[in-house]
A and B are shown apart, each in its own frame.
Chain A
Amino acid sequence: MQDLKEIQDRVYPPMVEGDHSFGTVSDKIGDLALKKKTPFFWFIGFGIAFMVAQLLLISSSYLLVKGIGIFGTNQPVGWAFPIINFVWWIGIGHAGTLISAILLLLNQKWRTSINRFAEAMTLFAVACAAIFPVLHTGRPWLAAYWLFPYPNTMGIWPQFRSPLIWDVFAVSTYATISLLFWYVGLIPDLATLRDRAKNKYFKFIYAILSWGWRGSARHWHRYEIAYLILAGISTPLVLSVHSIVSLDFAVSQIPGWHATIFPPYFVAGAIFAGFAMVLILCIPLRAWYNMKDFITDTHLIYMGKIMLATGLIVVYGYAMEAYFGWYSASEYEWFMVKNRIWNGPYWMFYWFLIFCNGVSIQFLWFKRFRESPFWLFIISLIVSLGMWLERFVIVVTSLNRDFLPSSWAMYSPTFWDISLFVGTLGMFFSLVFLFVRFLPVISIFEVRTLLPEANVHGHQQDFEENVLEVEYTYDKTDPPNPKVDLP
């Protein structure tokens, strides 16, 4: 039977390690939110993140006072840091939806212990992303009638033929559906916290938030239908969001933007960047909070593989961009490629980008790097930087030398460009720290379903019976086959 266990573990690696029951799973994850004592590193981490987040407050206040002249944006580089940061953040969010929706539809059990905080990451990233398009208008209180179709006293409407309006619809829908998905997933876990909380006030808050959930079979029935439908509609939604973001560029006629490959290339890049951020968050989380039973090495290895696969798609995108520039036989397209890669002032950024997104991920082919949390963490950091550079290269190198040489100009960010971006990083990590402290970071009820006891009438045993049958059949073969190669 020992051999059988080994075979089974190889075919279906266990998603929960250690000796756990329904009760210990609930305690271990629930206690992160419920226990009185906040760990010391939490204060350090949150303190730093929250201080950095003040940069956001200062920069946006200054922006509102002075106007967008404080940014380095000029002519012809009329789009710069705000759109780069917007696309970077919204892309990071996409991995959360991929994990929660697409992997659910594909019945990938390993998503279960990472989906909760990946979804939280999506929400926080979308919140950071939304700051940029709103603030870059300089007068956000006037932006309402540019963005949303409501009957205003001036009698004017937004222009629905513009991808920028599609963006408004896509991003606001994405934020709303992500919030609903995340919250629906939280309801049963909030009920668990409600029933376990000792503190009267927390108990009350969790009771309100869990809407009186009591785990009724009739409720679970509709709950699962709703959850699956949300996954089903989130899947095309997440693909549409970054496609529409890419149309902001692709619908224009600027060389280097006007390319049909943009939607799939952007979606792959988004998932690539998002998985890097999931790894950046979950590697320290599992180490500090001792969650290795739930976020196992297998999880990290799978995420590394997805990063490699999506990274290769992105690299293919770079190759195709250059190829299209040449094959288009358009003077401007080919000039843009040369300008971007070796002839222009920003060529170094391009090669740094290729190093970050193309070269660094090649290490993930090797088991040694995939299995090492340290190297995964380092590669994820490099990839996050690389994906930011990718947007910088796409935006700035396409704009700084456009059709008319007389209007060429260089771009460099100002202090406020950078401080606004760093401020959103602070906000993002502050929100992550708050989430880790007050809500269950891993979906408790879904982890329960991973335990063998969750199988009614021991369906787990089916595997063992099948294997025994196979061995029995093979024993009868002549000549006897001593070693059975199982799938």
Chain B
Amino acid sequence: MEKNLYGVMAEFDTATELVDAARKTRDAGYTKTDAFSPFPLHEIDEALGIKRSILPIMVFFGGIAGFITGIGLQVFVHYIDYPLNVGGRPYLSFPSMVPPAFELTILFAGFTAVFGMLFLNGLPRPYHPAFNVPRFALATREKFFLIIEGTDPKFEYDGVKSFMVSLGPQEVFDVDE
């Protein structure tokens, strides 16, 4: 049975209990951990030791790429490929290039934010071992869960199990792979 074990999961009733338990888990030296809640909990980032994501930096470069695309497209169209004299105005009139370049900046940044977030989160992932616990369906409704994964360097089944029980959860589950 231990061969197919993904991790050990504990269920909590309230957000406060989950955050306290997560903090103890981190202090006990476990690193391959995760918490599940029906809504975002800001305190959990610090309690679990989650590092700040690089997503904002990705979005910044996404936006820059959009701006360069916008300017590049217009320079190519109106200056390089097909210069067209309209009322004697200059071929490279920067002010008129601002709106399309601005919109493409936003578009590329938005795409980077959404798909970057999904990519970093490893989504879409329709199957996950956590779903093997029947009560885990409540994680999207009202309950809070904490998991220590089997890949944790300190993982040792009996120790983790008794540690989890010591956190005072509603119930402790073995999560099958």
Contact = CB atoms under 8 A, between A and B. Distances in A.
Interface in A133-186: 149, 155-161, 163, 165-166, 169-170, 173, 176-177, 180-181, 183-184
A370 B126 CA distance: 47
Interface in B1-60: 14-16, 19, 22, 34-41, 43-45, 48, 50, 53, 55-56, 59
Contacts of A21: 142
Contacts of B40: 220-221, 223-224, 445, 449
- Interface range, A side: 35 or more
B81 A157 contact: yes
A225 B56 contact: yes
A192 B140 contact: yes
Contact of B38 (A26, A170, A226): A26
A456 B144 CA distance: 12
B119 to A, nearest CB: 10
Contacts of B104: 169, 173
B37 A458 contact: no
A237 interface: yes
B77 interface: yes
Interface stretch (A39-47, A79-87, A206-214, A285-293): A206-214
Contact of A165 (B81, B100, B118): B100
B156 to A, nearest CB: 23
Interface string A214-256: 1111111111111001100110110010001001000000000
Interface string B119-153: 01101111110110000111111100000000000
Interface string B85-99: 010010001001101
Interface in A299-314: none
A229 B139 contact: no
A217 B99 CA distance: 38
Contacts of A188: 38-39, 140
Interface residues of B, number: 67
Given A195-B140, A212-B124, A219-B123, A157 B39 contact: no
A196 interface: yes
A456 B15 contact: yes
Nearest to B73: A149
B38 A166 contact: no
B1 to A, nearest CB: 23
Contacts of B50: 217-218, 221
B84 to A, nearest CB: 8
Contacts of A170: 99, 103
A210 B165 CA distance: 32
A218 B99 contact: no
Contacts of A196: 137, 141
B167 interface: no
B106 A456 contact: no
B140 A225 contact: no
Contacts of A212: 123-128
B161 interface: no
A21 B13 CA distance: 12
Nearest to B40: A220
B100 A215 contact: no
Interface of B: 14-16, 19, 22, 34-41, 43-45, 48, 50, 53, 55-56, 59, 63, 73-74, 77-78, 81-82, 84, 86, 89, 93, 96-97, 99-100, 102-104, 106-107, 109-111, 113-114, 116-118, 120-121, 123-128, 130-131, 136-142
16 contacts: A23-B141, A23-B142, A155-B82, A159-B84, A160-B100, A181-B110, A184-B117, A194-B140, A214-B131, A217-B36, A217-B45, A221-B40, A224-B40, A233-B63, A445-B38, A449-B40
Given A170-B99, A217-B48, 6 more contacts: A23-B142, A195-B140, A215-B36, A222-B120, A229-B113, A234-B106
